Amino acid sequence: MSVAVPIETAKASAGVGPGRIGVLLVNLGTPDSADTKGVRVYLREFLSDPRVIENQGLYWKLVLNGVILQIRPARKARDYRKIWNTEKNESPLKTITRAQSEKLAAAISDHEHVVVDWAMRYGNPSIRSRIEALTAQGCDRLLVVPLYPQYSAATSATVCDEVFAVLREMRAQPILRVTPPYYDDPDYIEALAVSINAHLATLPFQPELIVASFHGMPQKYIDKGDPYQAQCIATTDALRKRMGLDASKLILTFQSRFGFDQWLQPYTDKTVAQLAKDGVRRMAVVMPGFSADCLETLEEIAQENAEIFKHNGGEQFAAIPCLNDSEPGMDVIRQLVLRELQGWI
């Protein structure tokens, strides 16, 4: 005669504890050190990703290993040292992403079975190490949160690629969810507007216009169907509407181009230079595509583009901080996570 075994007893005898939920915040990545060696390791991983550089053929490998990784790391290491968090010996991106994780954990602490962690797509802590840590804590469900408001194959998709690669090697896989892009989410647009207005109020000048600078991408990636450009435009349009600005007062540009291919235009640096030449004397730049300040915002915009602006006749320049772990920024992440956890909590 068979005897019914209670489910909880069966779980206990099988070594299965009560299920927990892992929430993993993921940002792009950073070198482990602000020296040539650290940057070289980081760039090799980043530029060897076929989502970032799609043609990984022999010619690219020769250029990458024979030229780029011999020259670029030393120059980029100097740039990193300009913004490096010397107290923690890490990049600001790592400092901020950790803070976002800690604040999110505190904000949803009433859900005791939810564990929040963070990772970098390139560099450390790796996605693999954090998924392993979460599953070791009994997480049988996993919500991955790519911290990119706008989707692109070179950012959001490559996070998923790495998550899938880790899960492919696991016998007992956690159930997986991934948050969608939030480029036109009302909470995100509101947070941007509140953050911009709060920073503008602290400036000793009134900017004549605001430049919304997004990370660039090769035009051919868009031609192949990447929705990134359309989502950047949608973000800018929604922000204009929320702030009551027309297209001449809040303009969209793309920064950080690399190589010789045509990238999305207009280019930020060329636009900043031309505006100064055309007589604009006071400018602010916001970077809505970045959830946390990093090399591209703190050095490329706040320092390099500020210098370009002033060199061409501009006088006052302000780089508006990213949402980071500010109250409006954390509200965006919290609302996004709680929405995607529905049915699990």
Q: How many domains does the chain have?
A: 2
Give me the pLDDT at residue 15, please: 46
Is 278 in the same domain as 132? Answer: no
Q: What is the b/e burial string over 112-142, where b = at least 16 CB atoms within 10 angstroms of the residue's CB?
A: eebbbbbbbbbbeebbeebbebbbeeebbbb
Q: Are residues 240 and 225 in the same domain?
A: yes
Residue 238 falls within a domain, yes or no?
yes
Mean pLDDT of 158-173: 97
Binding positions for Fe(2+) are 215, 296
Q: Are 216 and 256 in contact (CB under 8 A)?
A: yes
Other CB atoms within 10 A of residue 289 CB: 25
Residue 73 near residue 39, CB atoms below 8 Å: yes
Write out the residue range of the structural domain in which residue 167 sits.
Answer: 20-182+327-340
Mean pLDDT across 303-323: 98
Q: Of all residues in the chain, what percent carry a pLDDT higher than 90?
A: 93
Please indicate, yes or no, whether residues 40 and 177 belong to a single structural domain of this protein.
yes
Q: Are residues 174 and 204 in the same domain?
A: no
Residue 9 lies in a domain: no
Domain containing residue 298: CATH number: 3.40.50.1400
Q: Are residues 156 and 202 in the same domain?
A: no
Query: Whole-angstrom Cα distance, residue 150 to residue 62?
Result: 32
Same-domain check for residues 68 and 107: yes
Do 312 and 332 belong to one domain? Answer: no
Same domain, 24 and 151: yes
The number of beta carbons lying within 10 Å of the beta carbon of residue 186 is: 12
The annotation places the binding site at 215, 296
> Is 284 inside a domain boundary?
yes
Query: Bridge-partner residues for 210, per DSSP?
Result: 250, 284
Whether the per-residue pLDDT at 169 is higher than 90: the answer is yes
| pLDDT tens string 120-161 | 999 999 999 999 999 999 999 999 999 999 999 999 999 999
- Model pTM score: 0.93
Residue 8 in any domain: the answer is no
Same domain? For 165 and 238 the reply is no
Give 320's DSSP letter.
P
* Residue 223 belongs to a domain: yes
The average pLDDT across 57-66 equals: 96
Q: Among 285, 288, 330, which Cα is nearest to 97's?
A: 330
For a pLDDT cut of 70, what percent of the chain falls above it? Answer: 95
What pLDDT, on the 0 to 100 scale, is given for residue 156? 98
Rounded Cα distance, 266 and 268, in Å: 6
Are residues 172 and 288 located together in one domain of the fold? no
Q: How high does pLDDT run on average in the chain?
A: 95
Residue 63 CA: distances (Å) to CA of 48, 57, 74, 215 = 12, 10, 16, 23
Same-domain check for residues 126 and 146 = yes
Give me the pLDDT at residue 10, please: 41
- Give 179's DSSP letter: P
- Residue 8 in this model has a pLDDT that exceeds 50: no
pLDDT at 248 over 70: yes
3-state secondary structure of 314: coil
Please indicate, yes or no, if residue 74 is contained in any of the structural domains.
yes
User: For residue 58, is it within any domain?
Assistant: yes
174 and 91 in a common domain: yes
**What's the pLDDT band for 18 if we cut at 50, 70, 90?**
low
